[in-house]
Structure formats: C-alpha cells, structure tokens
Structure 1
C-alpha cells in the first residue's frame, strides 16, 4: 500500500477507537475523521460529495430523512401509544412476551420495508411500552436492531446492501425470497431463543404496573384520528413503492422523501416543529462515516483487502463461499455494510463469472448473508444500529458502543455459523 493509504488507515483506526471508547461523541469522531481524510488528500471534494462509490451515499441519507419526517408526524397522532398498549395487553404485561412480539413485528416489517425504516417506526412504541411497565428500554431496542438486520436479509428491499447486490447481479425480488427467506426464518427462531438467554436479567417487572396497563383502553390513546388515517395511507403508499421500486424505477430515497414531504404538507403541522424531531446528529454521523470509508476505497485499501481474500481461495467455490461469508461479516462489522458491499460487488461479479452453469451464484448469497448479518456485530456495522443509538440518546436512554456490541457480536457469530450448513446443503450437497 502507498503511504497515503497507510495514513488513511491510521485516521480511520483512530476515529474508530474514539467512537468505540466514546472518548468524544461519535458525531465529532466521524466528522473529525472525515475532515482529516480531506486535509491529507485521501479523498477530495468530488470523491467525498459527488462520487457514488467513494462519497456520501445520498440515497441512504435522504431515505433516512424522508422516513424520519414520516415518523415525526406519526408521533403526533397517538398511533404509537395505541400499538404499545395493544402489544403490552397481548403479552399480559410480561416483558419477554413483549420482546418476542416486538422483535417478530420488527423482523417481518424489515423484510417488506427496510430495516432502517422499521426501527424508526418501532422504537417509539418501545419507549412507550417500557415506560408504562417500568422496565428498561435498552435491551428491547438492541434486540429490535438485531432482528431488523436478520429480517431485512430476507428480501431485496429489506436491507440496503441487498439492493446493491441485486442491481449488480441482475437478481429479482423473488430470487431473494427463494434463496434468503428460508434461512432467515430459521435464524429468527434461533434469535428468539437467544433473546431469552441474552437479556434474561431484563425481564423482571412490577405486576401492579402490568395490571394498570391491562386496564387501559388503547383506543383512548389516539390523539388525532384524521392525521392517523392520512399517515397510514401515506405509509402504505411508501411501502408499496418500496416493494415495486424496480417496476416504478424510483429509488427508495426518492420514495421516502416524497412520502415524508407529502405527509408533512397534508398534516398541516408546523414544519419547523416537525423538523426538530429529525435525528440530525445521526444523519451527520453517517455522512462522516461515508467519507472516511470512501477514503479507504479511494486509496485502494478495501480493494486490496478484498482482492487478497479472493486470491487466497484459488478458484475453489466452497472455500470462496466461506471466505466471502466470514470475510464480509468481519468487514461489515468494522465499516458500514453499504459501502463495503458497493466495493465488493464488482469483485464478486468477476468471481461468479469464473464458474460455469451459474454455480457461482452462491457467492452472491454468501456476500448478502455475511454483510447483512455481520452488520449486527458492532454498533456501527449497520445503518439500523446507528439509528437506534441515535433515537435512544435523544430519548435519554443512551446505549454505549460496547453495550450494543457485547450482544450483537454473539448474535452475529451464531447466525453466520448457522449459514454455513445452509449454504453447503443447498448449493453443494443437494445442488
């Protein structure tokens, strides 16, 4: 590697350590790292702001912004309180049952929306139900972020890396359902069991508070029925457009922004007041992270790592599958999985083309599973994780980098390990 590449690695490493140790706020660390990358010439204004491969992914930024606007308006309807009371009553006020309901709803919704949108919708419900029952919300939020990344792996629109893979590989929505959904269902069953063990200390509760919740009428929570109906209508349209984005030829970011602005206009609410509920620090953090990772791409660091891993397998399909699965998981835990997949896709395309009769397509599924599930390993490995941390901090329930990672790493390793026999049995033993 060049001296500039080593300098970029050093800057990224220092910024990552600052984020992980929380010596300074993660937004300051990410933006500071981005500024240094620009100053040392590891990237420049064009690559940082305008290049789709090495710069800020504006599609992700505006997807988040659009959905944040929708959530900010919906918060004013009382709809989240309705769902919170409904979930608590269905679970009879027992925390583990509530967690199961919330993580299953999160996983299913993440498959049809995207995982970032889902956690933005489910987190407000979580705050409310936990406050009602007097239990800590943090374990529930972490479990939901992990579930969103697992559930999002099932479909083309569920996780942003899947959209990148589908575009490069020419895969359809149905391809993802057929190849990814079976293993995701299995992983969710295992994950529910893991929740019982991982968060076992969080399931104590006050029966008196649970009884009070059981006496509540969820219908009384609705504050603005008209706005709720409008919000649900806009959300339904946005969801349909997400699913049909390949037919409509509209980027998810465009759909989200149009939906957010449309709902804001129809709501007749004060735009400035709604804008205050947008998670601006989270958006700024993503921008800084994209610039830093883009600098690693621009200086050839990520490409060299990927190429070295590719060369190590020597053209053998099963070793290539394992290296891609575990390598993608490891790298997606360190950098956000979106820029990682964008970098790896051309390399995987060349690898796939080297195997006859479409046998190499298993490499696409290894890349998708590794990137989607590996994102669970750390607090900044996936977009949904970062959004959850931002929303928790805004609500006064701060989740540290290591508090998230100590749970996420266990889930990531176990779920990826389960993918190994799945890939072997489906694409090699019984191909």
Structure 2
C-alpha cells in the first residue's frame, strides 16, 4: 500500500504565544458550548418572553401572515387574497371585504387603510370594521401573541423613508457580498464588519437595535453546526476516516470506473453525517493516492466528489449548513429529510456518475508522476487508545443518529442532541482536548453569526418583506410556481454566493411564502435549489476551493503534472458543474411538480 510522503508526523514546536492562544480558545469554547446547550433547551421560551420567537413554520407569525393585502376598488379599499393560515383569515376576515375603519378611524382610501393597518400592528390588538354583503362587521385579532416582527417597524413609516432605509441596507449587503466574492480578506472578518455596520445604521434609523440583532441569530443552527463539527473532528482524530480510506484503497485499484464510483459513493455516504469540508479533506488525499498508483488524472474524480458531497449534505438533516438551518428553525424532522430528500439525491448521484463516466471516455486521463511514496499505516497498528477512541466515536455517532430519528417523539431538539453527543465525545473519547479545540471552526461559527445579523437587518429594512411579496405576486400565489421560483432563484444565487449565505438570505423569504406551498414543499425546493447551485461552480460550495488547494499542493510537492494545469480551474469545473446544475434543476423541478400534486 503506498501513498505520497506527508509531513503529518512532524512534531510541532509549541511557543508561548501558541499556548496562550490555545488557552483563550479553550475558554471561548467552553463558554460557547455552555451557552448553546442552555439555549437549546430554553431559547424559545426566552425569545417568546422577550417578544421574539423562532417557532415552527406551521405557526410562524411573519409579516406576510399578519399584514392584510389591500386592493383598490370602486367601493373603497378591498381585502385581497389571504392565506388560510394567516392571522386575519383565522380571525374571520375574508377576501372581498371592504375596509371602512381601522382602530376607530374612518378609512377614505387604500393608502390610508395600508398606513393605519401597519401602524395598528404595533399595538396589541387590531380592530377592523368591514362591509360584507351589505352588512357591517367588526373583526379584531391579537398582533403580539407570538412575535414582535422587525419588519413592522419600517412598514409603519412613510414610503419615502422606507425606500431610503431599504436602499442603504441593500447597498451595504451588495458591497459585503462583492468583497466576499472577490475574497479580499477572510470572509468572517468581512461579514462581522458589515454586521456591525448594519446594527449601527439600524440604530441611527431606529429600525434595527442590537437586541433585534441578537434575536436574529439562529442559535439552534449554530448549536447543530458546532455539535456535528466536533463529532466529525473526533471521528477524524480517532482514525475512523483513515480506516475507511485504507479499505477503499484496497478495493479501488485497477479500473478507472471502479475508482470513480467508489470515490463518489464513499463521499456521498460520509457527507450524509459529516460536514462537506471534513469529507473533502478526508477523501481528496485518498483519491490522490489511488490516482498516483493507477497513473490517472484525479481532477474529474475530485470534481465528482465535490458534487457528491453536496448531494450527501442535501440528503439528511445534518449533512450541511442549509439543511441544518431548515431543520433547526422549522418543524422538519430527521426522518422527513430521509423520506423526501434522500431518494431524489440518489437519483441525481446516478446522473452524476453516468455523466462522469461518459466524460472520462472522451478525454485523456493519464498523468505523469515522479516522486517518493511510503506505506500507509494499517488499522492493525493502531494503539489501544486509538482503538478505544474509534469505538467510542462510532458508539456516540450511532446514538446521536438514533435520537435524531426519535427527536419528535422525545420532544428533543436536534441541536441539543448534537451538542450533548459532541460534549460526551469531547470529554470521554480519550483524544487530547487541545487537538479538538484547535480544529473547531470558530471562524465558520462567527461567519454565520454575522450573516444572520445581516439578514436580520434586511428583514428590519423591509426588503425581505417586499421581495417575498414580489415572489408571491409573480407566482400568482400558486404553490407550483412558488416552489419552482424558490428553487431556481436559490440555484442561481448559490452559484455566486455559495450555499451558506444563500440559504441564510432566502430563508426568511421562504418562510413568508411557505403557507402558499403548504406542508414542507418550500423547504425541499430551497434545499434542492441550493444543491444545484453549489454544484455548478468551484465557489458554489466551500469544499470546492479547498479541494483545488489540496490538489495544487500535492502536484507541487510530489512533482505530479497533469494535462493542462496542476489544479482545478474555475472554467474546468464549469465544464462539469454547469451541465450538472441543468440536469439537477430539470429533474428536481419534475420531482417538485410531482410532490406538489400529491401534497
């Protein structure tokens, strides 16, 4: 068994600065974990008591579920189409009702009705007097029973002021994503700077306070992200992935097709439970070893692995950030992802493998190699401590998955399950705690915290509300059109902004139009759209640039040369990614149309 020579076993020199940094990270880690565990159990209660709420979307009170659409008519301001699940509809308001009074004030125009209703939503109760079939009716409903919606602050302002606020927030967001796209500095720093600017501007304009920003953060999603990240790190440090790689190498020699299928299928399977970045960091070095032994070009295989990791991440609740956000902030449970997402993702995986096989038969797959190799460590050589860590890691992972599947019956949040499983491994796996802390993705956590604050600012500016209303309008409030629009929009945006930012940005829009689609259709559309977009370009998913960097370092260090270039270029990825995006969107659209007809 041979692999490229690595520098993995070099002993690092620990400086006082490094030791101090480790202590700081340890303190931050324990305080963060403690806060998130508490929030996983009591966060919703705290949010509700403070007037904010992250409740399941079947009862989610958003601007779209409170606000009343007004249509100008000869008789006066008339109520437009209402969702059956909206608060006004449940209170008895009907489409076609003529509004003649709001909170005791006589209404003389549609503009006045809109203004009075939006202003009235800031109070506890909204009282309407309507004319229905020549009868005067009084209808009232509570407005603050579940949520103090940030959008209502700006919607009560004059239109000119709303426009200025939205323009400022939109400009800040566009500049932020431009800097991220250009990769000028670390994306976490960029997002945190603009999150601070959003809060500052919001305070000046009196529409977005630091308290609003705090409750905009999806802490349950952060908990799930941190918990599954620690479990992934522990599995890696324990040697589970090394063992899988060894077995894979034993069975992968010889046929290019066999190597392609094994690598992509293994990537898919690992990504079901491990975040995509960890999967790529494990799979790509193993793929390079197989390519080196068989003298083949690994680039098409690695591109296939990146896309396969996206498919695996979309198949389960904990595979990647988009589904983590959906599951932690809605009432979609673990088993539903398996039922609705895994079958279509397996179909798309088959399409990917077929396309890669056809592509490989049309191009030269040989490479030139010169360098040194060494034997790979066998699992039989693992120490007693390493074997114990492997057993404990697999044991905890199995029970975490089991609890995920039973979470609805046990009334346990997935975020709490993931965190408790992660902390049990952290404390009792036998792996040095400093190693785990050093590998925890604090930058990723801060990035998503800042991103949630930015999206909260967009909600507060009213931009998300009007974007949602625009989608509702052009889809004619039709569930088929709404689902397909969300899917295609998310795919196009993800191709440029990557999966995480796109999901966070479109999540509140999806929430607002969820009553139109019914059930969880809108979430499958969002997930499938992000999947297609993240598979189209090298920057569509975080794993893409990381895989390209690994390949470039490998070729430089070991004297490997490929036909064309020694890395994965943006255009080269597009040759596979764009056709896959088209195929994924086409098949997923048919799947969503079928689902809409059945649900």
Q: TM class by shorter-chain length? A: 0.7 to 0.9
**Contact in 1 for aligned 2:228/2:275 (Cα 8 Å):** no
Q: Which of the residues 190, 212, 217 maps onto 1:47?
A: 212
Distance in 2 of aligned mates of 1:342 and 1:193: 33
Q: Which of the residues 504, 508, 515 maps onto 1:350?
A: 515
What residue ranges of structure 2 are gaps of 5+ in the alignment? 1-161, 555-566
What residue ranges of structure 1 are gaps of 5+ in the alignment? 354-359
Aligned to 2:350: 189
Aligned to 2:412: 250
**Contact in 1 for aligned 2:467/2:509 (Cα 8 Å):** no
Tell me how far 1:312 sits from its aligned partner: 1.0
Distance in 2 of aligned mates of 1:329 and 1:207: 38
Q: Which of the residues 576, 585, 593 maps onto 1:416?
A: 585
Q: Residues 219 and 187 of structure 1: is their aligned pair in 2 closer, same or farther, counting only changes over 3 Å?
A: same
Structure 2 matches for 1:233-248, cutoff 5 A? 233-248=395-410
Aligned to 1:356: none
Q: Residues 89 and 425 of structure 1: is their aligned pair in 2 closer, same or farther, counting only changes over 3 Å?
A: same
Distance in 2 of aligned mates of 1:258 and 1:166: 17
Counterpart check, 1:119 vs 2:276: yes
Structure 2 matches for 1:89-128, cutoff 5 A? 89-92=250-253, 97-111=258-272, 113=273, 117-128=274-285
Aligned to 1:357: none
Per residue, is there more helix in 1 or in 2? Answer: 1
Counterpart check, 1:373 vs 2:529: no
**Contact in 1 for aligned 2:396/2:421 (Cα 8 Å):** yes
My pick for the range that moved more, 328-337 or 392-401, is 392-401
Distance in 2 of aligned mates of 1:352 and 1:132: 47
Give me the CA root mean square deviation: 4.1
Q: Which of the residues 484, 499, 502 maps onto 1:322?
A: 484
**Contact in 1 for aligned 2:521/2:595 (Cα 8 Å):** no
- 1:189-248 per-position Cα deviation (integer Å, ceiling 9, x unaligned): 1122344577898954579999x78x8674346342111111111121222222322223
Structure 2 matches for 1:229-308, cutoff 5 A? 229-308=391-470
Q: Residues 319 and 232 of structure 1: is their aligned pair in 2 closer, same or farther, counting only changes over 3 Å?
A: closer
Distance in 2 of aligned mates of 1:159 and 1:395: 23
My pick for the range that moved more, 184-193 or 153-162, is 153-162
Aligned to 1:85: 246
Distance in 1 of aligned mates of 2:531 and 2:432: 38
Q: Residues 291 and 336 of structure 1: is their aligned pair in 2 closer, same or farther, counting only changes over 3 Å?
A: same
Per residue, is there more strand in 1 or in 2? Answer: 2
Distance in 2 of aligned mates of 1:402 and 1:250: 43
Structure 2 matches for 1:164-243, cutoff 5 A? 176-196=337-357, 204=366, 218-220=378-380, 222-223=382-383, 224-243=386-405
Tell me how far 1:311 sits from its aligned partner: 0.5
Tell me how far 1:10 sits from its aligned partner: 1.4
TM-score where L is the length of structure 2: 0.58
SS of residue paired to 2:428? helix
Relative contact order, CA 8 A, sep 6+: which one is greater?
1
Q: Which protein shows a greater Rg?
A: 2
Q: Residues 316 and 397 of structure 1: is their aligned pair in 2 closer, same or farther, counting only changes over 3 Å?
A: same
Q: Residues 306 and 379 of structure 1: is their aligned pair in 2 closer, same or farther, counting only changes over 3 Å?
A: farther
My pick for the range that moved more, 366-375 or 163-172, is 163-172
Distance in 1 of aligned mates of 2:328 and 2:183: 37
**Contact in 2 for aligned 1:71/1:120 (Cα 8 Å):** no
Distance in 2 of aligned mates of 1:216 and 1:270: 23
Distance in 2 of aligned mates of 1:411 and 1:123: 19
